Amino acid sequence: QDAVDVTALAQSAIDAADDSPAKAAPVTQPTKAPIKSDPKIEPIRHKVARGETAFTIARLYDVTVRSLADWNSLDANFTVREGQYLLIPLPADAGAAPAAATAAVSAPGTGSATPVPPSATKALPSPETKEQASPKPTEAKAATVATPSGGRMTYPAQGKIIREYVKGKTDGIDISAPVGSSIVAADAGTVAAITADANQVPIVVVKHPNNILTVYANIGDITVSKGASVSRGQTLGKVRDGNPSYVHFEVRNGFESVDPLTYLK
């Protein structure tokens, strides 16, 4: 069972839950240092690997998901496929897509045509352009965790915890539950995103007060829509078939994942 990494999704849901399209949340992958696009060369072409999403790829190259989507004509859910080639935006052009750039898609193991680089229509940025430094990661402090409305959350499913929270690895808990049993909102909030990762594992993200997000992965028969208000205990969907069948549940305080048991106990 792969945990879900929603750091990028958490930020975008907090900043633009009301006006941005649903965003894909990836399966957890080892942390990688951001790869900078060199403004002195043509844009990099990245081949999508299993489990990657537009969010993990954008973080890998230190560009925004929106610019990556614009450069590659991704759909409203930022869907990518294993084996697809993506053009990585140059830093100075992160806010706009090149005039002739389109997504170059190919089956795994096959070649793909190189998109027209932005240098064909505009000058490359000066080598002296300074890139914004990535913020240093900080450790979550239990004493300063924001509390959602009502003080406590309810469990999203009734069952045994079969995978515990480990920051940076699982980033949440897995709760074993019967196939078809209800997955409910842990607290009142607004549905910020309904999407799936590169392996088509469905994900629902709910935004709560104080920049708190809850994430529900491996959820089927989804009964809510993006932007809808939900109450604590309201059904979001059903537990999907699997061996074992389970729901993956995360709590995010802004960028940082926190132990869900901090809220559930």
For residue 145, pLDDT over 70 is answered with no
Mean pLDDT score of the chain: 73
**Residues 120-142 as b or e (16 or more Cβ within 10 Å = b):** eeeebeeeeeeeeeeeeeeebee
Listed in sequence order, the DSSP H helices in the chain are 7-16, 54-60, 65-72, 261-264
Q: Using CA atoms, how far apart are residues 261 and 251, in angstroms rounded to an integer?
A: 9
CATH 2.70.70.10 region(s) of the chain? 141-264
The predicted pLDDT at position 90 comes to 78
Provide the token pair at 23.
Answer: 């965003």
CATH 3.10.350 region(s) of the chain? 45-120
- pTM, two decimals, is 0.51
CATH number for the domain formed by residue range(s) 141-264 = 2.70.70.10
* pLDDT tens digits for range 151-194: 589 999 999 999 999 988 889 999 999 999 999 999 999 999 99
For residue 59, pLDDT over 60 is answered with yes
Provide the token pair at 130.
Answer: 């300074």
| Fold held by 45-120 | Membrane-bound Lytic Murein Transglycosylase D; Chain A (3.10.350)
pLDDT band at 255 (very low <50, low <70, confident <90, very high): confident
The predicted pLDDT at position 138 comes to 43
